[in-house]
Amino acid sequence: MRFLQRCSGSQAVAVHPGLTVDRRYRLVRRLARGQSGEVWLARDLELGRDVALKRVAVEGGAAGFDRLWAEARALARFSHPHVVTLYHAVRAGPRRRATSWLVMEHVPGGSLEGRPGLPAGVAARIGAQIADALAALHAEGIVHCDLKPGNVVVTGEGTAKLADFGAAYRVGGAETITPNSAVSYTPDYAAPEVVRGQPEPKSDVFSLGAMVYALVAGRPPRRGGARPTDGQEAASGRRPDGGGPPDSVEAYITVREAARGAVTLDADVGPLAGVLAGMLRRDPDERPDAAQARRRLEEVASPPGPIPALAQDLDAKPDPGGLPALVRGIPALVRSRRPILAGAAVALVAALALWQWGGDWIQLPSPPTGGTPAAGGAITGSRSPAVQGVLGDRRTADPCALLEPASLARFGSTDLDPDYGNFDRCDVLVSPPSDAVVDVRLDLNLDPPPEQAKAARTTKVVTVVEDPAESDACSRTLVLAGVTDTTITVTAKRDEKGRAPLCEIADAATTHAVETLNEGRIPRRDPGFPPESLANQDACTLLHAQALEVVPGIDAADPDRGYGGWDCEWESTTSDIWVDLTFDRGPTPNAEGGTATRLHGFPAFVRPEAEGEGTCLVNIVYRTYIDGHSQTAAETLLMLVGGSRPVDRLCRMATDLAGSAAAELPRA
């Protein structure tokens, strides 16, 4: 049994005021923007109310979407007066650029980021409200992990609400809320045990103390020793105003000091001094729990009332108060006590240094000297000519050379299938005894390496990144050192319930692929594509600007090109309509589920909602041939159009575009 699923990275669709998401939420204006996404004010057209839409950048394909839906599940568990309410979660856009949104309660007062210094009583009142929310979270075994001013929003009346559960972490061995293989945090607010990858409920109490201090002092507490003089600050590169460090050397220092756990409270916080000193103790056992912290803060808190207005440009990127970006990708230290720093702040880190904290050796990045970061960090860097030679000509590289059926034989009988899906793909069907068939699929992708994922291991020039396992699929991403535009994915997937160990199968296939890549250039296709094959066409050249005019606002000059030129996407700049033209191989299609027609002499089939609501697919049969299994197969052109329009209008657009593309094809 075969299935068609595209395994490629995701790039978010550009958005703008007036865009309608999921046919229901019209974007009004952007409220905030950060490293992991942005938040928009939107109008719910069905219920006539304002909502907040959190748009999340989901680099890393399925793993990125898993993180978003994990946050949705974490938020949906709670109905608390000091936790932002989640209404809905939606996914919209073309498959390779799909964008996910959390639809949440709109809190018109904005976040606490960028506020002027508050009186101690007001800050204590906010802190007590958030402590009440934390107590509810901790009762369910969930640690927020990234409490800071930017993740707390307030109403006009002064009610504070906790938001952004993207880093929520399950403790106590119960069901996972978000993947516990990585801990996310902001160093200036993180407890030392969080930096070491061991969050616990009292870690949030530490962060709350740091946040309340920042609300009064205008900056987070200083990590490490006493406050340096202005001259010392200038020499170190840290801004005297307490802002974030300007480069990755300072990022390294900030994280190191956060892991040490020493905190200097050098601002006058009045009656909060004793309360915050207890909340910010290095040892979690010496801190109050969330309920105790709430009571202590309430003793200092002023009566309810409005909070001073936000004093920053809402369209500016918020500074989380230390590092310029959230630190993500720190492996949890349940089995290993060696976290590795990742994220934009240390994208230039080249080596790792060992330093000692409290008798335990912790692995942290050295100050940068240029080059490519170590495994576990963001995988970036300039393209290396030597490594680039492993890929060679993209169109002639043979993906089937990276799959070895014999390496999978211990899981069942195997069958190599080089003639299914696009030309950048190869499959091995594994048939375990008395179990569901597993499709082991390898894809060559024109996508950047994932930035927020766990690097499992590096062997010579190849780093393997593990995506979170699912019940019916397990994926691995292979990244070549110094190659920033191409990745390789290996996926073991089944259509039906079964018992086969999908991740073991994916790892076995990955091991062979890594060995082959490390031997040198990927073997070439032998024989190559026949002259009449669609593989010799460039999908992006089949639709000219005039043809694309049938879709309002399409920018014909800005296509999103897929690997080998065998896939091309365009998107409207004035609406949410998108166009995806891709090549495919497989059994000859028929009219089932659609309508048969002919376009410029080619058989074609129009299928409304073939890829879900708000889509229409036109499938053009370009040529048929006998495949390696002596079966009749077809090369087809798929024209998919999607967006918030009636499906009959989408099908008219798709048919017009498919006809224009067919007119450009040579006769097979």
The whole-angstrom separation of Cα 240 and Cα 107 is 32
Residue 71 lies in a domain: no
Residue 250 lies in a domain: yes
pLDDT band at 96 (very low <50, low <70, confident <90, very high): low
> Could you read off the pLDDT of 71-86 as tens digits, one per residue?
566 566 667 889 888 8
List the single range of 172-181, 469-478, 626-635 with lowest mean pLDDT: 172-181
pLDDT at 557: 82
Residue 375 lies in a domain: no
Residue 161 lies in a domain: yes
> Could you read off the pLDDT of 461-516 as tens digits, one per residue?
899 988 777 778 899 999 998 888 889 999 999 988 888 999 999 999 999 999 99
Residue 95 lies in a domain: yes
Q: Which residue has the tokens 């003793």?
A: 299
The count of domains in the chain is 4
Residue 569 lies in a domain: yes
Say how many residues make up the chain. Answer: 668
Query: Do 550 and 513 fall within a single domain?
Result: no
Q: Which of 146, 419, 447, 580 is catalytic?
A: 146
Domain end call among 365, 396, 421:
365
Residue 527 lies in a domain: no
CB 458 within 8 A of CB 479: no
Query: Do 547 and 624 fall within a single domain?
Result: yes
The whole-angstrom separation of Cα 186 and Cα 611 is 39
Query: Do 417 and 477 fall within a single domain?
Result: yes
Query: Do 193 and 283 fall within a single domain?
Result: yes
Which distant-in-sequence residues (6+ apart) come within 8 Å of 629 by Cβ?
417, 419
Burial class (CB in 10 A: 0-12, 13-18, 19+), 61: buried
> Could you read off the pLDDT of 563-588 as tens digits, one per residue?
999 999 998 888 878 899 999 999 99
pLDDT band at 69 (very low <50, low <70, confident <90, very high): low
Q: In this structure, what CATH number is given to the domain that contains residue 254?
A: 1.10.510.10
- Which of these, 50, 65, 52, lies nearest to 12 by C-alpha position? 65
- 285-314: average pLDDT: 81
The whole-angstrom separation of Cα 661 and Cα 623 is 15
Query: Do 484 and 609 fall within a single domain?
Result: no
> Could you read off the pLDDT of 102-135 as tens digits, one per residue?
888 888 878 888 788 899 999 999 999 999 999 9
Known catalytic membership, residue 146: yes
The whole-angstrom separation of Cα 486 and Cα 464 is 14
pLDDT band at 229 (very low <50, low <70, confident <90, very high): very low
Q: In this structure, what CATH number is given to the domain that contains residue 101?
A: 3.30.200.20
Query: Do 193 and 319 fall within a single domain?
Result: yes
- Which of these, 379, 520, 401, lies nearest to 457 by C-alpha position? 379
b/e sequence 556-588, b meaning 16+ C-beta within 10 Å:
eeebbebbbbbbbbbbbeebbbbbbbbbbbbee
Give yes or no for residue 531 having a pLDDT over 90.
yes
The whole-angstrom separation of Cα 135 and Cα 113 is 23
CB 123 within 8 A of CB 597: no
Residue 70 lies in a domain: no
Give yes or no for residue 99 having a pLDDT over 50.
yes
CA atoms within 13 A on the CB side of 400: 21
Query: Do 295 and 147 fall within a single domain?
Result: yes
- 546-557: average pLDDT: 89
Q: Which residue segment(s) compose the domain that 38 sits in?
A: 20-58+78-105
The whole-angstrom separation of Cα 354 and Cα 191 is 20
Q: For the chain, give the percent of residues with pLDDT over 90.
A: 41
Query: Do 511 and 541 fall within a single domain?
Result: no
The whole-angstrom separation of Cα 405 and Cα 297 is 63
The whole-angstrom separation of Cα 555 and Cα 13 is 13
Query: Do 309 and 414 fall within a single domain?
Result: no
pLDDT band at 14 (very low <50, low <70, confident <90, very high): low
Average pLDDT of the residues of the chain: 76
The long-range contacts involving 281-287, CB below 8 angstroms and separated by at least 24 positions, are: 281/206, 282/192, 284/191, 284/193, 284/200, 284/202, 284/203, 284/206, 285/202, 287/202, 287/205, 287/206
- 4-15: average pLDDT: 40
pLDDT band at 407 (very low <50, low <70, confident <90, very high): very high
Domain end call among 475, 491, 519:
519
Q: What is the pTM of this model?
A: 0.53
Query: Do 319 and 467 fall within a single domain?
Result: no
Query: Do 577 and 494 fall within a single domain?
Result: no
Domain end call among 496, 519, 542:
519
pLDDT band at 455 (very low <50, low <70, confident <90, very high): low
The pair of structure tokens assigned to 187 is 């160093």
Query: Do 402 and 292 fall within a single domain?
Result: no
The whole-angstrom separation of Cα 474 and Cα 465 is 12
